[in-house]
Each structure stands twice: as structure tokens, then as C-alpha cells.
Structure 1
Amino acid sequence: MAHVHIHDPVPGERRPSSERCRRLLAVLVAPFLAATALGVVALWPGDGAIDLVPELGMSGELFDGRVVGVQRGACTGTTPDAGFRCVRAQVTLLEGPDQGEVIDLPEQSDLGGAINLEIDDTIVLAYFPDAGEGFEYSFADRQRLGPILLLAGIFVLAVVGLGRWQGLRALMGLGASLLVLSTFVLPAILEGTNPLAVALVGSAVIAVVALYLAHGVNAWTTTALVGTLASLGVVGVLGALFVDAARFSGLANEEATFLQVTAGQIDLRGLLLGGIVIGALGVLDDVTVTQVSAVWELHAANPGLSRWALYRSAVRIGRDHIASTVNTLVLAYAGASLPLFLLFTQADQGLADVINGESVAVEVVRALVGSVGLVTSVPLTTALAVAVVGAEAQERGRPPG
């Protein structure tokens, strides 16, 4: 998904782009936009998506309840010294057909204090009206919308407070990205369409909408867009090559196993590839926007720089950015897999054995493919930006020295 960008407009973009510059950009971006439009039309989901909810036995409605009583002790049928702990709770229903009633929830295993219910906690209950008496309601999860909405509000205030109008446009781009994922990418994959093709087309749509909303329709943004889309292609090709070379099954986690059982028409290896592409997009557009901004700023500060000098100066900035971004990308994947790493460490397996396991190898390939895409995006986007700036300078009668 695309990051929220709040870069200020660059000085060189405050005047209209030259005709030569616009023609060059049109030639560069037109094939990408045409391919994206055709891809959306060809891959747009119909009515053939799988309904996974009944397949997974999760067709119950969800209602909120408030805990009014909690008892902890040995599970039914076990002795206190067996070590099996369970929790029993009484809950007032806040919603649903039995609103206001107090019910006893079925006994739940409390392994490691995972449930940890307290009086006055608001929880989510699954309601199965056809279940036996006393089992119509069961604990599903905690109600977490309150703190999540509070954090989202802080995020919005921070982005708008710093970026002002441009920050607001960036948030609109973020909303559009989520809309593309929910209305196109996910339904198309559930319909059995090739996940890699859907991810590439969906990522292209997200990049177009998010970048133009955040930065406006201009030469600067279009250059960053072309660099982003070209780099995404590199990520897609590399991902396809190495996912195939590593012979991944796509069954490295529980969710994928559920999909395999309930939705056999979904290509799980393709789904893995699609995840690599979409995951790389958020960091790629950050790098490409920064590189284009660097070229425009350097040219505005010193219009006499030759194209080669401009390119070298901007790439030096890119090296610093890449050094921190690659580390961020790898640490993000490592952090997401931390429980898995702890499990392997506890099993006293060697590093080679840990990396060879599919669950870890998938994350390694994901991080490395994304990192190579990032590194590639710096010289690629910088060269595009220098070409566009050079074309504009020539049109204005000031060719770079």
C-alpha cells in the first residue's frame, strides 16, 4: 500500500512544464496507463467470488457484550494439578436479539492467560442461533475499535498538522488505496484470477491515484509514477523467478492452509507473489518520490549542473536513503516473524536450517526481492528525472552545462 507522503512542492515545479517535457512524459507514462486500464477491464471481478464464511464455519453474527463476572479454575473433566486452566464468564448482551440479558459463556481454555477477561471488559461474541442451548453465544475477541480509532485520529491530526492541505490529499490517497484493495484486488483474487496479475494491476492503480492525489498532476509526480511502476515490474519479475526457484508451496501459514482447504481455486504461490508486489509498493513510491524531489531541488538550486553531475548528486542522496530504507524493510519483515524466530531458537536449530524452512524462507525472499527493487528504483528514477529536467531546460533555452 502506498505511504502517506507530505513532501512540499519543489521550486522547479511552480511554473508550467514545457511542451517538450510534457511530450516526453506522455511517451513514458502512456504505455503504463494503457496497460493498467486494460488490466482493470480484463481482471475486474464478476459474481464468481468464493464465499469463505460458511466454508470456515464463521457464519455467526457478531455482537458486543460487557463482562459482569469471571471465574478461573481447572477445566471441566481435569484435576487442579493437571495444569489446564479455563475461564468462565457472565456477560451482559449489549446488542442482538437478546440485548440486555445476562448469559453464561461456554468454558474457554485460558492457556497462558490469553483471554485474560476482567469485569467491565467489552468483548465481541459470536452468535449461532442454531447451536444447542447454552452455546448460542461464544467468545470471539476483544472489542478494540476504541483504541484503534483513537490512534487513527492521532495519525490524521499528525499528517494534516504537518502536511496541511497536501497531508489531507495524502490521506485521501490512502483511502483510495484501501478502496482499490477492497473492491478490486481482494474480490478478483477470490474469484480465482491470477493473484500476481491482479496485484500488479491493483498496485499500478494505487500508485496512480495515491501519487496524483498527494502531489498533483504535474511533471514531477508523473516522473515519480513512471519510476515506481517500472520498479514494480522489476519486483514482479524477480519475485516470480525466485518463488519458482525456491519451490514455495504458498502454505507457510495458517491462513494459507485455510484458503487451500476452502478455496482450492486460489493460486497460493501467486498469492505469495502478489503479497510481495503490494508490500514493496509502499516503500518504492517513497524512494521514487524522494529521488525525483532531489533532482528537481538540485536543478533549481544550480541550473548550470550538467546532466551527469545532476545524476551523480541525486544518486548520492539516494544511497543514503536506500541504506536506511533497506534496513527498515528487513527489520519490518523480521519483526513480523519474531515469534517464529523465537520458536526456531528454542528448538536449537542452526541458522541454515532456520532459513531453509519455508515459513522463514518466504520472509527472506520477500525482504530481498523488495530490497533489490528499492535499489533498482534509485538509478532508474533518477535517470528519468534527469532526462525530464534536461528536456525542460533545453526547451527554455538553458541546457544543463
Structure 2
Amino acid sequence: MNSTPIQGECAPGFEQVRAVFEDNFAERGEVGAAVAVYLRGEPVVDLWGGIADAQSGRPWARDTLVCMMSVAKGVLALLVHRLASQGVIALDQPITRWWPEFGAAGKHTITLRQVLAHVAGLPYADGLPRGSLYDWSRVTEALAPQAPAFPPGEVRCYHSATMGFIVGEVLRRATGTPIGELLTAELCGPLGAEFRIGLSPSEQARCATMIPSEGNILDIARAKPESLFGKMWFPIADDEDFNSIAWRSAQIPSANGHGTARGVARLYSVVASQLAWGDPGPVGLPALREGIAEQWAGREHSTGMFWRQALGFFLNWPPNRPMGPNPAAFGHSGAGGAQGFGDPDSGLGFCYSPNRMHSGIDIGPRATPLIEAAFACLQTLNLTSRNSLAKRTN
């Protein structure tokens, strides 16, 4: 029997999600985590439990922040599409329109669309010493003169860290605001969604301590530092465990987003509801539809994994990135098991955020049963389509 106290709220009909969340602690090695499900912008599941910091025994609280790794890519993409819908940036203009120095060494034709689709040919930054990943200027100044590793537009290769730096520098130059402040001002703040790029000291005090499992993504990179996968992750510090002040303070927009499951689920539910019913939302509908359109489906070069890619988002492709039964579901997972996505058929937003990172590069064994439970509840309540939910909420 599970003895971990679970806190929060679960609407009638969604008790199965709570039961699975409890099972994660009892049977699947969960240490501390939160899970949230929103429908049409409103919470139906908001649960948390376990230990935020094993050394002190500090429990997971309602406002505990946790590093969700590349879940940040999807949140960053929402900001990009918001600014594109406002005409602040344009996805098909060369990046040199905002960042002239970036055009060196044959990069003058690269666009934001190519970066968001991971086909820009810049999956890593050359020539940076260990520990320099936390220095925005140093990374962007290294990327500007660098030649592409692959011909732009030709190779599907995940831009693990470089996506965020390239996109973030364009947004900084287009708006005059650093990416962390811009994300809060333009997207997360107005929607009341707690998700940050770069934490203040007071926010760091609320952080859960990450627990990397043996064989985690950094172990894979450290084992072969000269491989393509290794180059993507370094110049991170040799001893990084995703808990350092440097990691939490830095602005690494595609890798070190910290927040609550509640915040990410709300973001995705709001935009999924825009797509389902044309509800008001933060992104213009044409730009949002373009953002979730499939750019490619196939094998990614660095991992050999099959996936479907939109503009900054993964698209649903079970079993590796399961987001429910709808092929149009879009979102992003994070190394270690975090997952955030929206389902435009039901208006659902989902996020799961643990501190114990599983090994490997898929989402692991704890998110999938929660996602399955959420959609099973929708099925039981006959809320799996936009028509049935519209009848229920009107």
C-alpha cells in the first residue's frame, strides 16, 4: 500500500488519475512529482506529493518548482508563435534580418522555421569550454561565426540546446528583452502559468532537487563526448546534476525551464481550446495552426528514433512520445520523464513533472499510465471530443 500523502484536487470522474499517481509512488519508484490536467482552461486534476528534497526531507508543496528540461521547448514555441502572430518576427525570413552576424559561414539563408523544425544544421556549438553553457553571450557569440554541421534544411537533427539560444537571441534582438523576462511578460504572466527560464534566488529556494538515475541523458553524453550526441550536451559543466545555482540561474531556453505542472497544463489547455472552439488565447489562430503543422516524420539523425516534428513541438507518436489517442496532439517531453502537451480534439492540457529522472531518452514508465488514465476518464465522461465537451460547458 502507498504511504505517500497525495495533496491537491481531483474533479469527480478523474479519480483514476489520482489512483495511478499513487501507484507511481508505490510501484514505480516515484520520489516527488506533480501532475495536472486542464480542460478548456480549467483544472480537473491538480495533484502533488512526495519529497522535493531528499537530503532535507522537504516535502513537495503546491508551489514547488521543478526542472522540466526540454518541456521548455514547447513553451518557448508558444511564445514564438505568439510573436509571429503579432508580426514581431517572421518564421520564413532569414535570421540575419535580426541578427546580421549569424549569416557567416553559409548560414545566411537559415530561418526560424528551420531552427524550430530541427533542420537548421546547427545541433551544437563549436569550441566552447566546459561550463560555458550558462553564459548567454558566450554561446551566441560562438554560434554566429560557426559553419553548419549539415547543409541547412537537409538533415533532421535535434537541436537540443542550440534551438533555444538561436531562437532566444532572435527574440531578444527583435524585442529588446531577454528571453526569460519576455516569456514571463508575454505568455506565462498574463495566463497565470508559473514557468520560468532563469530563476531568482527566492524561486530557487522552492525548487525540487533533481535525482538523475544511472544511465540518464548526461551519462549517455559523457560516455561519448566526441559523438554528435555528446557535442549537443557539452559545454555543460562536468559535474552538473541539474541542481546547481549556475544551471537554475541561467537562461537556456530549450533545456532548463522550471515551473509547475499546473502552469504548463494550463498553457496547453488554453491553446488547445483555441484550436477546438476558437476560444480567446495568447496566439493568433492562423499562427497556432501553422505552429502545430507537421514539418517532417521520420528518423532523427542523432538518436535514430522515429518522431513527428512540428514547429517547436513534438506531434503524437506512440509509444515513444504518447499524448493520448489524437494524432494532432502536440507538446514536448523533457529528459528524465517530464511531459507537457495539448490535445486540440478535447481541449485538454496535461503536464507531469517529476524530480527523479529515469534513464534513457524516452518519457519513461511513469508519465504514460497517467496520460492513459486521463483519457480513460474523458472516455468514461464522454468528453473525448470537442462537441461533447462543448455541450457540457455551454
TM-score normalised over the length of structure 2: 0.24
Higher relative contact order (CA 8 A, sep 6+): 2
TM-score normalised over the length of structure 1: 0.23
Greater helix proportion: 1
